[in-house]
A and B are shown apart, each in its own frame.
Chain A
Amino acid sequence: MGQKRKTIATVVSQNEIAPQIYDLWLETDLAKEACPGQFVAVYPKDGAMLLPRPISVCETQKDKNRIRLVYRIAGAGTKEFASYRVGEEAEILGVLGNGFPVSCAQGKNVFLMGGGIGIPPLLQLAKEMQAHKQIIVGYRNQELFLAKELAQYGTLYVATEDGSVGCRGNVMDAIEQNGLQADIIMACGPMPMLRAIKKYAEEKGIEAYISLEERMACGVGACLGCVCKTKEIDSHSHVHNARICTDGPVFEAREVDI
């Protein structure tokens, strides 16, 4: 893994791929080091917004030094990012976090599960993983994004909250309705989904690697802002708080108390 650094990236392309969901390709030398499940932090240019916004890496093209970020407009910072045009520069900090343990799924029957804006990191993960991949993704409605691309790398199952596409409900309903089974799970999405996956994996006695999210400041493990409760005493503060930005964002579900 390369050294973390703050660097200037250049916008290669940007498109709105679903309402409020943006698809941004950046040219940066960080691309060579980025692994599935890791993230970069993007700095707004408006000086009133101090802190960088953590965004997971959706896809990389290492030979072209490109990374792809797919994000939702959630506030003023991401709204600014959505205004960036081709050729514009953006300051980013990266590559951050641990990423998914891709090789743990080697040759296994795996669920790759994503909910909403937790779906993007699954794309690079699905591309790199050598396994029997069942990709289970949940959306609010028929405004899907990344679904066709994900389908190239495994069997895709879609759930929508309003039932407009795939099964009605969430990713857990999709598992049940399709009678799916797995030896290992890798997932990213909202906390209720991750809690359900943790419970499911514990009942089935299988490994589940879940990517967590929390409000962050530094992104590099110094400020102790983005902690999550852990079963064992953590190595940094010797309490029960792991740092999501550096010890995570991906944790084995049994290790964390969510």
Chain B
Amino acid sequence: MNTKVNIAGVTFKNPVMTASGTFGSGMEYGEFVDLNRLGAVVTKGVANVPWAGNPTPRVAESYGGMLNAIGLQNPGVDVLIERDLPFLKEYDTNVIVNVCGKTIEDYLEVVERLADEAVDMLEINVSCPNVKEGAIAFGQRANSLYEITSRIKEKARQPIIMKLSPNVTDITEMAKAAEAAGADALSMINTITGMKIDVHRRKFVLANKTGGLSGPAVKPVAVRMVYQAAHAVKIPIIGMGGIATAEDAIEFLLAGATAVAVGAMNFVNPYATIEVIDGMEAYMNQHGIEDIAELIGAVEE
């Protein structure tokens, strides 16, 4: 049985990754799961300098999902290089660093600092809904997305994944802009902007007022967007949004994703990534599938 997948020349032992921001840099969940088994660890977004993030409350539950407005708190790329990358290097898993910034120059600084580091791919976060400047502003207009993608592609030593926002009118337009600008892959979806109000206090539950919705509640939206984007572009797609089980992951592959990421469900079940990997293998056995590539985009029209 072959579970390996290839994205932009990088081989993954299986298509299961962690969604950025839900897994730290692997240390915390390393207590629960064997990181060697993962296709990749995708680190929490990192900027050129430390970011303090938003005021609390930063998280809230909603029906079948959760809202977060962490605001990309991170220690900056230097700490990632000194502390987190050496930790991850000890494991036999691919490392994808998620990169964020307020200006194009911020992104470029991080990308350049990572040029000679043990990083397999870069995921460019142009879709975080929780920071005021940068981030999502680059990911909601096709021409801005084209510009930042091409600027980063010029400088990046590793293949780049553009992480797309679902908070757009037409996901295919964004996917095409990223592809045209040289993106090596796409990941989707980032969280959907939401809001929750405490009716007894008449106050917003999150200090930031709005937050990003994730978890099983968003999965059908994510599957639909992956399907649409897979028909619009040729570059590989990493699908995510509410994946809790192997069935969920396979749904994304059938819709056209080459790989998947487990996000909010890590919080619900710290063993979710491993259970998805085991479950996908069981599914392949059960259905007589030799190569996982047979599943990619294999939904019957």
Contacts and interface: CB of A to CB of B under 8 A. Distances in A.
Interface of A: 3-6, 43, 47-52, 93, 214-228, 236-241, 246
Nearest to A43: B268
B32 A216 contact: no
Contact of B24 (A215, A221, A240): A221
24 contacts: A4-B31, A5-B32, A6-B32, A49-B61, A50-B65, A50-B264, A50-B265, A51-B59, A215-B60, A217-B264, A218-B22, A220-B29, A220-B32, A221-B24, A222-B29, A223-B22, A224-B44, A224-B73, A225-B56, A225-B57, A225-B58, A238-B79, A241-B73, A246-B28
Contact of A220 (B28, B53, B59, B68): B28
B269 A225 contact: no
Contacts of A240: 52
Contact of A218 (B28, B60, B65, B216): B28
Contacts of B74: 237
A51 B57 contact: no
Contacts of B268: 43, 50-52
Contacts of A4: 31-32
A220 B56 contact: no
Given A217-B267, A218-B267, A238-B76, A224 B50 contact: no
B52 to A, nearest CB: 4
Contacts of B32: 4-6, 220
Given A217-B59, A224-B58, A239 B51 contact: yes
Interface in B46-77: 50-53, 56-61, 63-66, 68, 70, 73-76
A44 to B, nearest CB: 10
A236 B68 contact: no
B297 interface: no
Given A227-B73, A238-B76, A218 B52 contact: no
Contacts of B59: 51, 215-217, 223, 225-226
A52 B65 CA distance: 12
